[in-house]
Amino acid sequence: MEEKELIRLSQEGNGEAFGLLVERYKAKVFNLASSWTQDRAAADDLAQEIFIKAYFSLPKFKFKSEFGTWLYRIAVNHIKDYLRKKKTRLKEIPLEEGKKILTAENEGRLEDEQVEEKRRALVQAALQHLPEKHRIILTLRDIQGLSYEEISCVLRLSPGTVDSRLFRARKKLREKLAAYLGQEGGEYGL
Amino acid sequence: MDCKKAERLLLRSLDGRLEDREKIRLKDHIEDCSHCQKAEREYRMILGHLKKEGVPEPLPYFNERLLAKLNVKEKTMPGLIWQKWATRTLAFSLAAIILIGGAFLILRPREPQQLSQVEALLLRDENPLTETQNILDARGPENRNMMLIFTAMEEKDSPRR
């Protein structure tokens, strides 16, 4: 069944049609939520809340944008609220701890997979230490893979602002990792 | 091209948003600039590591749990149901008001109008002219008496003149 038809039926309160929409988008919404919570159960709860919000907002959806973009907008706004409410309870990986791990493991040789995993953890930790607006735009572009135009719709920003904000966010992320990036030569250094 | 400009173009190029002419300019700059070569390596590594390995999956029975929550919310929060159907209800209400109003205007019973005397006589199957003649006839003696009075008064006054 076409997406428009599913949306129309869902707007009329058809639970089955909404279930099919959820099936199509749950992975993306869950993925977005999990990049903020770092916790599967919390991300699952967030994703459920986002879909509940979307269901009750469906009558307001006028087909002026893609359903996915509209859903992402709800998701991002909900995640922003969530972060404001539970700021202190977020499970963050302290950047300094990540540095210690890397340095300690520099002593011995690690398997490539382990090195990659450590690097990934460090980059994720650095991402979490960025200001909210930079985290959001990096998550949408570099984790979720949304196009500039889609990000522009989701965040209600001009394409020019998306371009400059993305540039600043990536630059800041690199600056956060500067201490580790300097450790060249070793296979564990970034 | 300076390194600052090169860095901006480099990040755009990683998104595949660079025109051919700019690509060549950037490539020329990076080939000669060790600082930007390092920046390119680092950015590629960072962006490559931003994505998590493997696509995370929600907990089991995601849809079932969600639909159950929706059912509970719908039952316990009538405000939400109203919000959900408000737009539709408003449109239907307006259409119904227009339809009922229009039907009322077209089909409403006409109020009985005040009939003129002539219409009343015609309705009673009487000739309005005959009736008028009767009225005039009834007034005839009165008029004659009045005329006599005036004539007598004129006759009284005439010798004085």
Task: Kindly report, residue by residue over A107-122, the tens digit of the pLDDT.
Answer: 455 567 777 888 888 8
- B59 and A44 within 8 Å at the Cβ level: the answer is yes
B10 falls within a domain = yes
pLDDT band, very low/low/confident/very high, at A10 (cuts 50, 70, 90): very high
pLDDT band, very low/low/confident/very high, at A39 (cuts 50, 70, 90): confident
| pLDDT higher than threshold 80 for residue A12 | yes
pLDDT band, very low/low/confident/very high, at A128 (cuts 50, 70, 90): confident
pLDDT band, very low/low/confident/very high, at A46 (cuts 50, 70, 90): very high
- A48 and B57 within 8 Å at the Cβ level: the answer is no
**How many angstroms separate the CA of residue B22 from the nearest CA in chain A?**
16
Interface size A-B, in CB pairs within 8 Å, comes to 103
Distance CA B22, CA B15 (A): 14
- Name the residue with higher pLDDT: A101 or A110: A110
- A52 and B42 within 8 Å at the Cβ level: the answer is no
Instruction: Specify the DSSP class assigned to residue A89.
Output: G
The pTM assigned to this predicted structure is: 0.68
Please report, for residues A28, B74, B142, the alpha-carbon distance to residue A6 in angstroms, rounded to integers and kept in the order given.
Answer: 18, 20, 94
Token code pair at residue A95: 């950047």
Count of Cβ atoms closer than 10 Å to residue A128 Cβ:
17
**A41-68: buried (b, 16+ CB within 10 Å) or exposed (e) per residue?**
ebbbbbbbbbbbbbbbebbebeeeeebb
Token code pair at residue B128: 């309005």
Mutant choice from B43, B62, B87 vs A, greatest count of A C-beta within 10 A: B62
Q: Give the range of the structural domain holding residue B12, as residue numbers without chain letter.
A: 3-52
Is the ipTM higher than 0.90? The answer is: no
B137 falls within a domain = yes
- A127 and B50 within 8 Å at the Cβ level: the answer is yes
- Name the residue with higher pLDDT: A110 or A184: A110
pLDDT at B50: 87
- The answer to which of A180-189, B6-15, B108-117 has the lowest mean pLDDT is A180-189
Q: Which of B42, B56, B70 sits opposite A52 (nearest CB)?
A: B70
pLDDT band, very low/low/confident/very high, at B114 (cuts 50, 70, 90): confident
Q: Which of B14, B33, B52 is the last residue in one of the domains?
A: B52
pLDDT at A183: 55
| pLDDT higher than threshold 70 for residue B1 | yes
Please calculate the CA angle A19-A24-A28 and round it to the nearest 5 degrees: 120
- B58 and A43 within 8 Å at the Cβ level: the answer is yes
- B58 and A47 within 8 Å at the Cβ level: the answer is yes
Distance CA A61, CA A73 (A): 12
Q: Quick one: closest CA in B to A50, which residue?
A: B66
**For A189, phi and psi rounded to 5 degrees?**
-70, 155
How many domains in chain B?
2
Q: Quick one: closest CA in B to A115, which residue?
A: B49
Mean pLDDT across the stretch A165-177?
95
Q: What percent of chain A has pLDDT over 70?
A: 82
| pLDDT higher than threshold 60 for residue B161 | no
B28 falls within a domain = yes
Tell me the per-residue pLDDT of B12-55, one tens digit each, with 9 for 90 and over.
999 999 999 999 999 999 999 999 999 999 999 999 988 766 66
Distance CA A148, CA B18 (A): 13
Taking all residues of chain A, what is their mean pLDDT, rounded to a whole number? 84
pLDDT at B123: 81
pLDDT at A182: 61
Mean pLDDT across the stretch B118-145?
77
Alpha helices in A38-147 (DSSP H): 40-57, 67-85, 95-106, 112-128, 132-138
B109 falls within a domain = no
**How many angstroms separate the CA of residue B97 from the nearest CA in chain A?**
22
- Name the residue with higher pLDDT: B141 or A2: A2
Distance CA A36, CA A83 (A): 8
**How many angstroms separate the CA of residue A54 from the nearest CA in chain B?**
11
Q: Is B73 on the interface with A (CB under 8 A)?
A: yes
Count of Cβ atoms closer than 10 Å to residue A171 Cβ:
16
Q: Is B57 on the interface with A (CB under 8 A)?
A: yes
Q: Quick one: closest CA in B to A118, which residue?
A: B49
Residue among A20, A23, A68, A28 nearest A46 (CA): A28
Distance CA B39, CA B145 (A): 131
B145 falls within a domain = yes
Tell me the per-residue pLDDT of B49-94, one tens digit each, with 9 for 90 and over.
887 666 678 999 999 999 999 888 877 766 655 555 665 677 778 8
- B46 and A170 within 8 Å at the Cβ level: the answer is yes
**How many angstroms separate the CA of residue B84 from the nearest CA in chain A?**
6
Q: Which of A15, A34, A138 sits opposite B70 (nearest CB)?
A: A15
Mean pLDDT across the stretch A183-187?
47
B13 falls within a domain = yes
| pLDDT higher than threshold 70 for residue A91 | no
Q: Is B17 on the interface with A (CB under 8 A)?
A: yes
Element (H, E) at A175: helix A159-176
Contacts of A177 in chain B (CB under 8 A): 42, 46
B150 falls within a domain = yes
**For B151, phi and psi rounded to 5 degrees?**
-60, -45
pLDDT at A187: 43
B12 falls within a domain = yes
> Is A22:A53 a contact under the CB 8 Å cutoff?
no
